[in-house]
Structure 1
């Protein structure tokens, strides 16, 4: 999605940046892991296919993707490559044509040294904060209205493999509630609806987040 191609989100533990060609080699190395393939229900791709996927995700209007960077590394090493600071990714999928206010959220902390440090939690909170504001028609208007940067989502879902207990617990701590179980896909669906109380809670959790211009839109 080009909507976020010029946006950087700065948090305490993580920095979210658009997924660009610079990030593909490290991402490709991650996805050679059978564990990550299983957790993300992904098939291994060639490096060329990974570059094609990055281009596709940048153009697709129903996918909003950020790469998760380790904020401490990113801030401590000015001028270092983003690839060296990569921790994972976080995504919003806007695939329910009947409900444009619903986004499916996914997070992957792929770098082993970055797990268990709260990166996934902060990345999800920041992504929800980014996705919840402004009208849903902003997707279509983004090119003409530079100030319109968010998606207008009021409901978030997470679909997680039944065996992925850490992710299930993390989303439950973020106020998501289980709404369905699929024995076919071996996954549970959790949902959070943004009531006024939930909006206030999310605002408090992400009050430190800063939105800045990204260095380029490639």
Structure 2
């Protein structure tokens, strides 16, 4: 999504940066893991397909993807590459054009202030008990089960007090310009 292409979010423990071509080789290596493929309901891709996926995620109006960097490692040395600091990714999908306040998340970070989201959904494989427990601890509630896709849909609808609490908890996060040499 072009909305986040020039945004870096700097927190105490993590840095969120837009998913760029620089990140693809390490991401591709991660996604060779059969366990990660199973847990994320992903199919193995060739490196070329992974680059095409990165470009589509960057261009598509309904996807917002950040790479999660280890902040301590990233800030330790000026010549440290982002790829060497990668710890994961955060994805936000705008899945309902009729409801612009709804976004599907894979990890609940970002989306509240810039996009005006108040509802978050997570679709998790029925066998992925660790992820189901994590989202339930974050107060997501089960709203649907798909036997066809073998997944559970969990939803968090944020009230204004919850939104304010989240903003207070993330008030230390700095939004900075992102670009070459950041």
Contact 1:3 1:149 in 2 (8 A): no
- Supply the distance in 1 between the matched residues of 2:102 and 2:65 (Cα, whole angstroms): 16
For residues 157-210 of structure 1, what are the alpha-carbon distances to aligned partners after superposition, in whole Å with 9 as ceiling and x for unaligned? 111112222212221222211212222222111111121121122122212211
Q: Give the deviation of 1:93 after TM superposition.
A: 0.4
- Supply the distance in 2 between the matched residues of 1:5 and 1:216 (Cα, whole angstroms): 11
TM-score by length of 1: 0.77
Q: Secondary structure, in 3 states, of the residue corresponding to 2:56?
A: helix
Map residues 1-218 of structure 1 onto 2, 5 A cutoff.
Answer: 1-107=1-107, 150-216=114-180
Q: Give the deviation of 1:83 after TM superposition.
A: 0.3
Q: 1:179 to 1:40 in 2, by over 3 A?
A: same
Q: Secondary structure, in 3 states, of the residue corresponding to 2:108?
A: strand
Q: Secondary structure, in 3 states, of the residue corresponding to 1:107?
A: coil
- Supply the distance in 1 between the matched residues of 2:42 and 2:78 (Cα, whole angstroms): 34
Instruction: Name structure 1 gaps, 5 residues minimum.
Output: 110-146
Structure-2 residue corresponding to 1:129: none
Q: Give the deviation of 1:108 after TM superposition.
A: 11
Q: Secondary structure, in 3 states, of the residue corresponding to 1:157?
A: strand
Q: Secondary structure, in 3 states, of the residue corresponding to 1:108?
A: coil
**Which structure 1 residue ranges, 4+ long, deviate > 6 Å from structure 2?**
none
Contact 1:24 1:51 in 2 (8 A): yes
Q: 1:148 to 1:105 in 2, by over 3 A?
A: closer
Contact 2:142 2:152 in 1 (8 A): yes
Higher helix share: 1
Contact 2:112 2:163 in 1 (8 A): no
Contact 1:89 1:108 in 2 (8 A): no
TM-score by length of 2: 0.91
Which is worse superposed, 159-168 or 1-10?
Answer: 159-168
Instruction: Name structure 2 gaps, 5 residues minimum.
Output: none
Q: Secondary structure, in 3 states, of the residue corresponding to 2:143?
A: strand
Contact 1:161 1:186 in 2 (8 A): yes
Q: Secondary structure, in 3 states, of the residue corresponding to 2:50?
A: helix
Q: Secondary structure, in 3 states, of the residue corresponding to 2:152?
A: strand
